[in-house]
Structures are given as structure tokens and as C-alpha cells.
Amino acid sequence: MTQLVHLSPVDYSILVLYVVFVIGIGFALKRQMKTSADFFLSGRNIPAWVTGLAFLSANLGALELVGMAASGAKYGIATCHFYWVGAIPAMIFLAVFMMPFYYGSKARSVPEYLKLRFDERTRAFNSVSFAVMTIFASGISLNALAKLLHSLLGWDYNISLWVCSVIVLLYVLKGGLTSAIYTEVLQFFMIVLGFAPVVYLGLKDAGGWNAVKEKLSAVAVQPAVHNLADSASKTFSPDAWTSAWKPLLAGPSANPMGIDLFAMVFGLGFVLSFGYWCTNFLVVQRAMAAKDMKAARNTPLVAAVPKMLFPLLVILPGMIALALSATQGKGYTFPKAVITEARMTASVNSIRQSASAHADVAAATKALSSSAGTSFNTAKVQALLQAAQGTPDAQLAVGIQDAVVNDYDGVILSLVKRYCPTGLLGLALTALLASFMSGMAGNVTAFNTVWTYDLYQAYIAPDKSDEHYAWMGRAITVAGILLSIGAAYFASMWTNAMDIIQLVFAFVNAPLFATFLLGMFWSRTTGTGAFVGLISGTAASALFHSCTISQGNLPGVKGGYLHVFQVLPSDMAQNFWLASFAFIVCFLVTVVVSLATSRTKSDEELKGLVYSLTPKQQVDQAWYARPGFIGIVLLIACAILNWIFW
Amino acid sequence: MGLDIRYPIGMMFTLIGLLLAGTGLLHGGSVSIAGIDIGVNINLVWGAVLFLFGALMWGSALRSKGQ
């Protein structure tokens, strides 16, 4: 159990103010929710700067904040690739090439675009998988929030879960998508302004960027000392944590992520990134709510500017934490599980037994983990095995506690606790709460639209009045929140739940971009080709996963359950290669089946849905305001950032 | 839509800024980290930043309405 944080009346006041304002926004918008289009589509009436920040905020769940800081500590500046390679180019592609078809086709959702372009089969497959994924994503986020409030503030898990859900329910129910988008903008500013002082104080404490770089160079040559490698002899080049590209170019064994260049650029930078930013309705919905085509295309471009700079806010804290932990006298250690007295006695016995039985390090680590109830760094367990004979119990216990793996997910909170006095603490915690809520509201609004338009109206009750669909939207919002709560309990009860859910996400998402790419840019793609390609791509993801595993994992939920044909250097490498494989299979099968089947839609029907069949619109914008030009400027800015941190 | 989002953003950050700056003034002093004073009254400084940001948002919404 971590030490509880005690909030003062000022901290509570900030939290309450935030809650009052987000619920107030919902109630203020209530009068304007007259039709189903108002509720689900915001009446397509929102300016680009609002939809742009909401586009970013919907993706900025707390799991991203927590996870990116953790990755900053584990992998260093290479984590920026999730932004500079894995987001910006895809956002620009969405704005320049894809948004005209999403917005121009008047589709109300991404699955509906699939129906217009292909047929009902592809739409149904995408709608069902997307609806299930949004509920689980929302539930995972909710579970993480309730667990965090419980461990940090001592609040009851159940009460935290229900109260946060009710707050999101209130403002989404009253103000629909507009309310979610408006509160996402407010949450965006809350997140930036809430965490910025923590980063500033952290950097000041660490002695500035040059001091951080210096410390991380020392960490890189002896990573096992900091529980960052499984072998005591493992060493990286001094710039492994502070250079974005050089360690990557040197191969998987030379960078802490264990990634090769192809997996990073093609797997993350193309397949996963374009698959997420260009086809995920959760984010695309924000752009589709814009007031006109110009605003819709500018939405991802507006979002790209802060997105490019976000590593400063979310990755840098992890790097600062690692530098602090490597600096003597700073009194900072990474959060990690504390072994209870009873378990420590069993752990000491476990190490002694393994040492006297000359057990190998893998077996000893497994036995020790079972005794202690937590995970250990194998390099340090190896050292403990060698030193066990002749070492007193008390000293061995200190060594065992030191060998517990770091809880990197706790990095951001450990910095909040370290730097935030009363007042600032309330602001930072409110920012964290805001990030959870923006993620949950985003998922719920995407879910209610897809359910009502793509499943309920399409297959269950096609010819009802607009009032009926507006009513259904509200009813399914309540149901969506209740299902999210159910998913949160599911995630909390089963430790493997997160891994399995994320695995299913990967299976479904990986091939999707191939379907959209061919659908939008190759008029010969047929409905049957798209459907068979998508199913084949999803099956290929599952097959790839069942035949590969990453180093250090045993066959099971982490892969290799049919047969291990290939061992990949890291979980991340496995994910990126899986995505690449699924994309290629989906692409090739779609092409082959399309060529073997007849088109069911005429050129006229595909006008506005396919690039080559859509007449070029006269643009009434100055050259410097056109999405293409802005996109190039953003790409140059992104390239400069990559060059600076090369 | 009828609601200009700059109003609630402006009002909320103005209020939070006042709360933070007030806390900084009342309690005074700078932040100590691991027993070392870092020389910044962060509540006061950041409260002022939030207040200014909130006032700018609020002001720009009022200006748009006026036009």
C-alpha cells in the first residue's frame, strides 16, 4: 500500500469547481439537444479549434498519461516515436486525404462510411467490434481511476467508480456529443496546466536538461543497476535514453525498446498509427462534428500542434524520474511494491532453497515471485542466488526488496506527491481526473452513436421517428455507462483481463487501415473483397500471435500458444510485427478477392467516397491556409524535432 | 452551438487561479523538496498564470459577443 495523500480544503475546492463546471456545461447545452443529430453529431456546428483540441483530448486518457511517463522512464526519448512517427503523419494524412470523404459523404459514423463504400457486412463487423472495444476501453480506464483514487487518497473503490461514472453520465446525457467535446476542451487545458508545473519543478530539481542527459548516460551503460535490464552484463550506448534514432538504427539489441527500424517505421508509423488516427471513430467523430468541411479538415491539423509538443508533458517526467533515481542525495526512488514481513520471511527462505538446490535463475525468480507476491528483476535475483550463502537474513531481505521490479506506472504520481504542495496538489489530481473522464466520455459518445445509427437503426428498428432515435441515444448512454462499470469490475477481478482485451484490440485494429486505404483510393475494391480481407487480416493477427512470443515470456496470453516459430526481442516488437503482418494479409487478400469478384456499386454511387471518382472541388482558401500546405509545415516541424533529438 | 466554451473555461481557471494564488499568499514560502528549498512560491506563481489564462479566455469570449 502506498502512502496516502491527504487533501486540504483548497484541493477539494479545485476538484469540486471542476466537477461543477463540467456538469454545468452539460446542463447549459441541454436546451439545444432537440434532434438526434444535435445529440449524436453536435448539429455539425463546432469551430475547428474546439474540435481540434477535443480530437486530441479524446485520445488523452489517463492511461496514456500514466503509460507514457512509464515508457519515458523505461525507454527514454525513443517513446516520442509514438507521437512524432506514430501520430503526426497519420493526423496530417487524415486531414488532407481522408476527411473530405468522411465529411463529404455525410456519413454519420465511420462504420456508416463502410456501408456506403462497401456493404452491410463490413459495416456490421466494424460496428460490433468497435462497440465492444469502446466499452472495454472505457471500463479499463474506469477501473484504473477507481484503483488510483483508492490507493492514493484512500477513497472506497466502489464509491469512486460509481461517482466518476455518474459525473460522466450526467454531462453526456444532458449535452450529448457537444457536451463531451466541450468538456474535452476544458479537460485539455486542465491536463496541460495541471501537469506543467510538475514537469517544471522536476526539471529544476534534477538540475536542468543537461543534468538529466548526463545521469541517463550513466544509467544506459549499467541498466541492470536500475532494474532496467534482465542481465547484469547488459549495457547500452550512453545515448540510449536520450537519442531518438541512433539506438534504433543500431538494431533491437542496442535500444531499450528492443525494436528494429522496420517494425518502428512500418508497424507503428504506418499500420498502427494510420489504423488508429484515420479509422477510429472515437477520434474521427470529433472532426465529423465540425461546422464545415474546412473546419473538419483543420481539426487534425489543430490537434497536431500540441500533440507534437506533448512529449514534454508526458514523456519528460519519466526521464526526469529515472535521472533523479540515479542521483545520490535526491532521495527519490521509483515506486515499487513493498513486501510484507510475512512474505519477506518466505522470500528469504525461497532464495536460500533455490541457491542450495542450484536452481537456474528463471526457476528461482518464479519461486521468489510466488513467495513475495510481486515480480523481480532477474539480474538482481541472479546476484542474490550467488550471495545467498553466508549472507544474514536481514541483508538478504534488503537485497530482495531492492530486486522488486519498479512500478513505472506510478512515476507520474510519485512526482505529483514529491512536488505539489496543497493547492497545486488539488490541481494536479484534478488534471488526472480530467484525463480519465475525457477518455471515458469519448468512448461513451462514440459507442452511443455507433449503437444507435449502425446497429439499432440499421438492423433492429429501421423506420422509427427521429425522437425515438434521440431517446434511444440517451437510453444507450445510460446502458453504455453501466456496461463500462461492468467491464471495470471484470478488469479488476481478473489480472489477465487487461492483456486479453488489449490483444483483441490489436487483432481487430491492425488490418483495418488496409480496408480503408483500398476503399478510398482504389475504386476496384469490392464489398466482398473488403469483408473477406478484413476477416483474413483479423485471423492473421491471431495466427501471428499464436505462433510468436517475446523474450522472457512463457507461451500463453502473451502468445506462442500454438507453436513458437519466432521469438521477438520485446512485447512491443511483437505488437508492431503483428500489425504489419495483419495489414499485409488484409491488403493482399482484399486485392485478390476484389479482382476475382464483381463490383456491386457503380462509379456514380461511389462519387464522394473514392478519391479517383470524386470531382476536385474548387478551393476558396489562400494557399497558406490550405490543409496540404499546413500539413507540409507540420511535417517539417516534426522532422526538425526528430533532428534535434536524433 | 449557443454556448461559447471560452466562458466556462475562463471562469473556471480564473477561480482556480485565485484559489491557488490566495493559498500561495496565505501560506507563503517556496516549495521544499527533500528538505531543500527550491526558491519558488509555486502556488502564487502558478495561480497568477492560471488567473491570467482564465481572464484572457473570458475576455476573448466577451469581446466576440460584443462584436
Per-residue pLDDT tens digits for A203-257:
988 989 999 999 999 999 888 888 787 777 888 889 999 999 999 999 888 888 8
pLDDT at A514: 94
Question: pLDDT tens, A88-126?
Answer: 999 999 999 999 989 888 888 999 999 999 999 999 999
Q: How far does the CA of residue A324 sit from the closest CA of chain B (Å)?
A: 12
Instruction: Give chain A's domain count.
Output: 3
Residues of A whose CB is below 8 A from B40: 201, 204
pLDDT at B34: 62
Q: Chain A interface, mutation test: which of B5, B9, B38, B40, most A Cβ atoms within 10 Å?
A: B5
Residues of A whose CB is below 8 A from B55: none
Q: How far does the CA of residue B62 sit from the closest CA of chain A (Å)?
A: 17
pTM: 0.89
The string of DSSP letters for A333-348 reads: ----PPPPHHHHHHHH
The winner for highest mean pLDDT among A109-123, A348-362, A505-519 is A109-123
Distance from C-alpha of A65 to C-alpha of A325, rounded to nearest angstrom: 20
Residues of B whose CB is below 8 A from A28: 3, 8
Residues of B whose CB is below 8 A from A182: 3, 5, 8
| Largest distance between two CA atoms of chain A | 84
pLDDT tier for residue A41 given thresholds of 50, 70 and 90 = confident
| Largest distance between two CA atoms of chain B | 53
The answer on A186 and A161 residing in a single domain is: yes
Tell me which chain A residue has its CA closest to the CA of residue B46: A197
Strand, coil or helix: A549: strand
The answer on A433 and A560 residing in a single domain is: no
Distance from C-alpha of A387 to C-alpha of A72, rounded to nearest angstrom: 32
pLDDT at B29: 63
Do residues A64 and A622 make contact, with C-beta atoms less than 8 angstroms apart?
no
pLDDT at A495: 62
Tell me which chain A residue has its CA closest to the CA of residue B5: A182
pLDDT at A502: 67
Q: Is the pLDDT of residue A353 over 70?
A: yes
* A1 occurs within a structural domain: no
**Does residue A576 or residue A301 have the better pLDDT?**
A301
Do residues A549 and A558 make contact, with C-beta atoms less than 8 angstroms apart?
yes
Residue ranges of domains in chain B: 8-66
**Does residue A65 or residue A635 have the better pLDDT?**
A635
Catalogue the long-range contacts made by A392-395 (C-beta closer than 8 Å, 24 or more residues apart). Answer: A393/A348
pLDDT at A209: 93
Residue with cell 471562469: B11
Residue with cell 489504423: A275
Three-state SS sequence of A157-196:
HHHHHHHHHHHHHHHHHHHHHHHHHHHHHHHHHHHHHHHH
Question: pLDDT tens, A488-507?
Answer: 998 888 766 666 666 777 78
CATH number for A202: 1.20.1730.10
The answer on A501 and A486 residing in a single domain is: no
pLDDT at B31: 65
Q: Chain B interface, mutation test: which of A38, A51, A182, A430, most B Cβ atoms within 10 Å?
A: A182
Residue in B2, B24, B53 nearest the CB of A193: B53
Judged by average pLDDT, the poorest of A140-144, A426-430, B15-19 is A140-144
pLDDT at A592: 97
* A637 occurs within a structural domain: no
H/E segment holding residue A205: helix A157-206
Q: Do A421 and B42 touch (CB under 8 A)?
A: yes
* A564 occurs within a structural domain: yes
pLDDT tier for residue A2 given thresholds of 50, 70 and 90 = low
Residue A252 grid cell = 533491437
Residues of B whose CB is below 8 A from A19: none
DSSP secondary structure code for residue A601 in this structure:
S
The answer on A418 and A511 residing in a single domain is: no
pLDDT at A479: 95
ipTM over 0.90: yes
Residue A196 grid cell = 506543467
Q: Do B8 and A186 touch (CB under 8 A)?
A: yes
SS3 content of chain B, % helix, strand, coil (to 5): 70, 5, 25
Q: Which of A452, A469, A493 corresponds to the end of one domain?
A: A493
The answer on A488 and A356 residing in a single domain is: no
Q: Which of A382, A405, A428 corresponds to the end of one domain?
A: A405
The answer on A170 and A90 residing in a single domain is: yes
Answer whether A42 touches B (CB < 8 Å): yes
Do residues A95 and A87 make contact, with C-beta atoms less than 8 angstroms apart?
no
Task: Please report, rounded to a whole number, the percentage of residues in chain A having pLDDT higher than 70.
Answer: 98
The answer on A191 and A268 residing in a single domain is: yes
Answer whether A79 touches B (CB < 8 Å): no
The answer on A506 and A597 residing in a single domain is: yes
Do residues A86 and A269 make contact, with C-beta atoms less than 8 angstroms apart?
yes
Tell me which chain A residue has its CA closest to the CA of residue B34: A331
H/E segment holding residue A522: none
- Angle in degrees, CA A567, A573, A575, rounded to 5: 100
Question: pLDDT tens, A317-332?
Answer: 999 999 999 988 888 8
* A440 occurs within a structural domain: yes
pLDDT at A363: 84
User: In the predicted model, what is the mean pLDDT of chain A?
Assistant: 88
Question: pLDDT tens, A605-618?
Answer: 898 899 888 887 77
Q: How far does the CA of residue A376 sit from the closest CA of chain B (Å)?
A: 28
* Among candidate residues A277, A369, A43, the one with its CA nearest the CA of residue A178: A43
* Among candidate residues A203, A215, A420, A189, the one with its CA nearest the CA of residue A312: A203
The answer on A485 and A361 residing in a single domain is: no
How many Å separate Cα A604 from the centre of its chain? 39
pLDDT at B30: 66
The answer on A379 and A348 residing in a single domain is: yes
Tell me which chain B residue has its CA closest to the CA of residue A49: B5
pLDDT at A499: 66
Q: Which of A351, A378, A405 corresponds to the end of one domain?
A: A405
Residue B38 grid cell = 527550491
pLDDT at A43: 77
Do residues A585 and A536 make contact, with C-beta atoms less than 8 angstroms apart?
yes
Q: Please provide residue A312's backbone torsions phi and psi, each rounded to the nearest 5 degrees.
A: -60, -35
Residue in A18, A189, A423 nearest the CB of B43: A423
pLDDT at B33: 62
Distance from C-alpha of A415 to C-alpha of A198, rounded to nearest angstrom: 7
Q: Do B9 and A14 touch (CB under 8 A)?
A: no
The answer on A293 and A311 residing in a single domain is: yes
The answer on A415 and A301 residing in a single domain is: yes
Q: Do A204 and B11 touch (CB under 8 A)?
A: no
**Of chain A residues 453-472, which have a CB less than 8 A from chain B?**
none
Distance from C-alpha of A165 to C-alpha of A274, rounded to nearest angstrom: 31
When pLDDT is averaged across residues A625-644 and rounded to a whole number, the result is 93
Q: Provide the residue range defining the domain that includes A540.
A: 497-615
pLDDT at A303: 95
Residues of chain B with pLDDT under 70: 1, 29-36, 38
Q: Is the pLDDT of residue A1 over 60?
A: no
